[in-house]
């Protein structure tokens, strides 16, 4: 097994793969009438009505019944029951790309892949919450709080402050077809429910401060409960738990500066 693919090679493989063609090798897909997307019978559950969708624009797939979803790598991992490096190799061969020789970097190990995934998930969440604060429909009390605390436009932009709307499944909904619940858990965005199946979001109803690492990458979050919101919490501030990418001792709390403003 060849290991040590970098992110660049991963993206090269992704962009050299047409997900519709790939999925069509297993599932008979039809274009959805009047749209660009494709639909077929889901290979992951006993499907009678086509509920399995492939989105060429995003190069992702998702079943709206059993909730399986992901990109080309996830597809091969699920269909061939192989770990990520083998899925990558398989797709690289399929795209006739030369597979890089052994190269040791921090994406070599299983842990490395988790790290790479979590960084991408956190980056995605930072943007999502930043947009929600700046222009989201249900963020008036968050914007009001920002004004009251005299946090400037520049501060909001530079620290990429964000807001999580009062919706306990917002991350999960927004991530569909892009990240799996397991990836969201690993990145500290959601948690499994204690009393029953399913998940709930962290940071609900909070003003969110990204926590960045020594290389300037967001790796975790701090969130503050807002006055005037509907979320009851004993903890005025909430910080992400430690994860593959977030080590409290080694991480800068850039948002402390914003908080003191
Ligand atoms: Zn399904």
| Lowest mean pLDDT, pick from 129-133, 185-189, 246-250, 257-261 | 257-261
- 42 CA from centroid of ligand 1 (Å): 5
CA of 16 to the centre of ligand 1 (A): 26
pLDDT given for residue 101 in this prediction: 66
Compute, in angstroms, the gap from residue 177 CA to the centroid of ligand 1.
Answer: 12
pLDDT category at 260 given cuts 50, 70, 90 is: very low
Helices 84-94, 72-80: crossing angle, 10 deg rounding: 110
Is residue 231 very low, low, confident or very high in pLDDT (cuts 50, 70, 90)?
Answer: confident
List the structure tokens of 257: 């500066």
110-260 CATH choice from 3.40.50.11540, 3.40.980.10, 3.20.20.80, 3.90.980.10? 3.90.980.10
d(CA 12, CA 236): 44
Q: What is the pLDDT of residues 6-33, one digit of tens each?
A: 778 889 999 999 999 999 999 999 999 8
Strand partners for 223: 208, 238
pLDDT tens by residue, 101-119: 654 444 455 566 677 788 9
- Spacing, Cα 69 to ligand 1 middle (Å): 9
pLDDT at 2 over 60: no
CATH topology of domain 7-94: DNA Primase; Chain A (3.90.580)
Domain ranges in the chain are 7-94, 110-260
pLDDT at 251: 55
Do the first three CATH levels of 7-94 and 110-260 match, i.e. the same topology?
Answer: no
Residues with CB under 5 A from ligand 1 (ion): 42, 44-45, 63, 65-66
Phi, psi of 212 (to 5 degrees): -110, 155
């Amino acid at each position: 097994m060849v290991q040590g693919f970098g992110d660049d090679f991963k993206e090269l493989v992704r962009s050299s793969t047409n997900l519709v063609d790939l999925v069509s090798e297993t599932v008979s897909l039809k274009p959805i009438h009047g749209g660009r997307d494709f639909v077929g019978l889901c290979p992951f559950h006993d499907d009678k009505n086509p509920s399995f969708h492939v989105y060429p624009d995003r190069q992702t797939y998702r079943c709206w019944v059993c909730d399986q979803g992901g990109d080309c790598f996830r597809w091969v991992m699920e269909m061939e029951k192989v770990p990520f490096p083998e899925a990558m190799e398989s797709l690289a061969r399929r795209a006739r790309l030369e597979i890089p020789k052994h190269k040791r970097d921090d994406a070599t190990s299983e842990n490395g892949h988790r790290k790479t995934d979590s960084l991408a998930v956190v980056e995605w969440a930072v943007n999502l919450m930043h947009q929600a604060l700046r222009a989201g429909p249900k963020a008036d009390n968050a914007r009001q709080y920002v004004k009251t605390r005299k946090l400037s436009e520049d501060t909001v932009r530079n620290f990429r402050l964000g807001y999580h709307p009062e919706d306990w499944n917002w991350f999960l909904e927004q991530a569909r077809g892009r990240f799996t619940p397991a990836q969201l858990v690993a990145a500290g965005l959601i948690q499994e429910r204690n009393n029953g199946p399913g998940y709930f979001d962290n940071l609900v109803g909070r003003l969110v401060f990204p926590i960045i690492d020594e290389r300037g990458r967001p790796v975790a979050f701090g969130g503050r409960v807002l006055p005037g919101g509907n979320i009851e919490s004993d903890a005025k501030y909430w910080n992400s738990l430690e994860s593959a990418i977030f080590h409290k001792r080694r991480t800068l709390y850039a948002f402390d500066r914003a908080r003191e403003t």
